[in-house]
Amino acid sequence: MRAVRRSKEVRLSREVGSHCVTSEDGEKIFGIIAHEVDRGYEVLLDFSGVDLVASPFLNAALGVWLGAMSEPELRGRVHWSNLDPDFESDLEQVLANAHLYFTNQKARGAIDRSWQSLSDR
């Protein structure tokens, strides 16, 4: 018999509002996820009431997890619901980019150099 895992729901519209856009809001959600995962919970991110989702938020809330765990492990611990299909494709792209960043040293170096050159301007 498989053990039932406990789950916590995080309603994003309640935590950060109807626009999940900034990396700061993503970092807030990352912290909530980390707290619940540390307590042994799976986390369900509920996107109901969210009208706009952007990659800075998704990178900070979810993409950075791929530096600490595999994508299957992340998907086993963090789930999402009520995400608009257009934003779901953005989320999948963020996870693919994060996977590349954390697993391919050459790609990571190129990305880091690009960001550095942009910040030097």
Angle between helices 105-119 and 85-103 (to 10 degrees): 110
Distance (Å, whole) CA 47 – CA 83: 5
Tell me the whole-structure pTM to 2 decimals.
0.85
Backbone angles phi, psi at 70, to 5 degrees: -75, 160
Nearest C-alpha neighbor of 10 from the set 45, 61, 60: 45
CB neighbours (10 Å) of residue 104?
Answer: 12
Distance (Å, whole) CA 70 – CA 46: 22
Each residue's pLDDT, cut to its tens digit, for the chain (121 residues) gives 445 468 999 999 999 999 999 999 999 999 999 999 999 999 999 999 999 999 999 999 999 999 999 999 999 999 999 999 999 999 999 999 999 888 888 877 777 777 677 667 6
Nearest C-alpha neighbor of 29 from the set 73, 5, 68, 59: 59
